């Protein structure tokens, strides 16, 4: 059984001005997403600035999210690391907190071999009982889960059940699905490829767009799942300009700026990520939000 279907939000981590985690604002965001129809909360992923959260903050943020959601929709926690031991530690702590799934990114910087990836994911899996979504995003990690490796893990490792596919390579994603079959669910990791990946058997998206347009992203996915391919495709194409603007600089810089423009007051980013690098990109983002029908300050 799939962890979720539809639109999971890769939720930002709201910060106070001193860059501590703003748990009150986190509660507000979670309640908004549930009201808007978001199908799953993905906490402490890339968009949640997991790389600059301390281990203590990481675990506390996951635990707080699980308590706030209180079983109303699934919660998936980002627990990946470039260290297998750290990934195991974060995964076991997230499991204790009661998450419904774990999102485990490929080890970054180390550039593991395919054999190394198999061992890494197997060791993480053996440490927990919670279902695992592998996260393949080679543009950020320098490490690519090849289709043969993904299929092997889905078929042979007990609780590896899905992959968040963010390689941008539709041919690779198609081959992964062809080799893995029903052994591995697929979620789009790119907002501009949701419908194409669902056409290859994907179940939905783990989405940055959902941060600013949660109801829209949910509807786009469920139109497809309910058989309205044409309507879903039209929504995908209509959102392309906003999606491009949300990635005009490295994620999650634009999405946090966008949420602040919308009055959500999610606070600053943590270094080495700061604000938008140019006024032109800021204005592009503002215009895209307005053109999409989103009110900004």
pLDDT tens digits in sequence order for the chain, 297 residues long: 899 999 999 999 999 999 999 999 999 999 999 999 999 999 999 999 999 999 999 999 999 999 999 999 999 999 999 999 999 999 999 999 999 999 999 999 999 999 999 999 999 999 999 999 999 999 999 999 999 999 999 999 999 999 999 999 999 999 999 999 999 999 999 999 999 999 999 999 999 999 999 999 999 999 999 999 999 999 999 999 999 999 999 999 999 999 999 999 999 999 999 999 999 999 999 999 999 999 998
The reply to whether the predicted model has a pTM over 0.95 is: yes
CA atoms of 161 and 81, how far apart (whole Å): 19
Question: Which of 121, 135, 152, 216 is an active site residue?
Answer: 135
How far apart, in whole angstroms, are the C-alpha atoms of residue 220 and residue 209?
11
Burial environment of residue 225 by CB neighbours within 10 A (0 to 12, 13 to 18, 19 or more): middle
List 5, 25, 164, 264, catalytic entry: 164
Our CA angle for 36, 38, 42, nearest 5°, is 140
Active site residue 287: no
User: Is 164 tagged catalytic?
Assistant: yes
pLDDT at 1: 84
Alpha helices by DSSP H, listed for the chain, are: 23-36, 55-69, 84-97, 114-126, 138-141, 147-156, 170-180, 194-199, 214-225, 229-238, 240-246, 253-261, 279-291
Three-state secondary structure readout of 102-139:
EEEECCCCCCCCHHHHHHHHHHHHHCCCCCEEEEECHH
Give me the domains of the chain, ranges plus CATH numbers.
Answer: 6-239 (3.20.20.70)
């Amino acid at each position: 059984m799939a962890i979720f279907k539809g639109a999971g939000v890769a939720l930002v981590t709201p910060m106070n001005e001193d860059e501590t985690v703003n748990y009150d604002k986190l509660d507000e965001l979670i309640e908004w997403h549930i009201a808007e129809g978001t199908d799953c909360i993905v906490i402490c992923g890339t968009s949640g600035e997991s790389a600059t959260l301390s281990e203590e903050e990481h675990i506390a943020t996951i635990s707080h999210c699980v308590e706030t959601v209180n079983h109303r929709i699934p919660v998936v926690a980002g627990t990946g690391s470039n260290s297998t031991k750290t990934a195991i530690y974060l995964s076991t702590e997230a499991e204790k907190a009661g998450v419904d799934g774990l999102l485990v990114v490929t080890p970054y910087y180390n550039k593991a071999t395919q054999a190394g990836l198999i061992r890494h994911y197997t060791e993480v899996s053996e440490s927990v009982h919670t279902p695992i979504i592998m996260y393949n995003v080679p543009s950020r990690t320098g490490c690519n889960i090849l289709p043969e490796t993904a299929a092997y893990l889905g078929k042979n490792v007990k609780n590896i059940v899905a992959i968040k596919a963010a390689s941008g390579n539709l041919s690779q994603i198609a081959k992964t699905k062809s080799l893995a079959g029903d052994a591995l669910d697929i979620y789009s990791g790119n907002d501009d490829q949701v419908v194409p990946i669902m056409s290859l058997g994907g179940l939905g998206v783990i989405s940055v767009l959902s941060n600013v347009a949660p109801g829209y992203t949910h509807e786009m996915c469920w139109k497809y799942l309910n058989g309205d391919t044409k309507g879903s495709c039209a929504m995908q194409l209509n959102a392309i300009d906003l999606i491009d603007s949300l990635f005009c600089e490295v994620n999650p810089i634009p999405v946090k700026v966008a949420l602040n423009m919308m009055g959500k007051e999610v606070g600053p980013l943590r270094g080495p990520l700061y604000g938008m690098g140019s006024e032109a990109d800021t204005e592009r983002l503002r215009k895209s939000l307005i053109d999409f029908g989103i009110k900004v300050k």
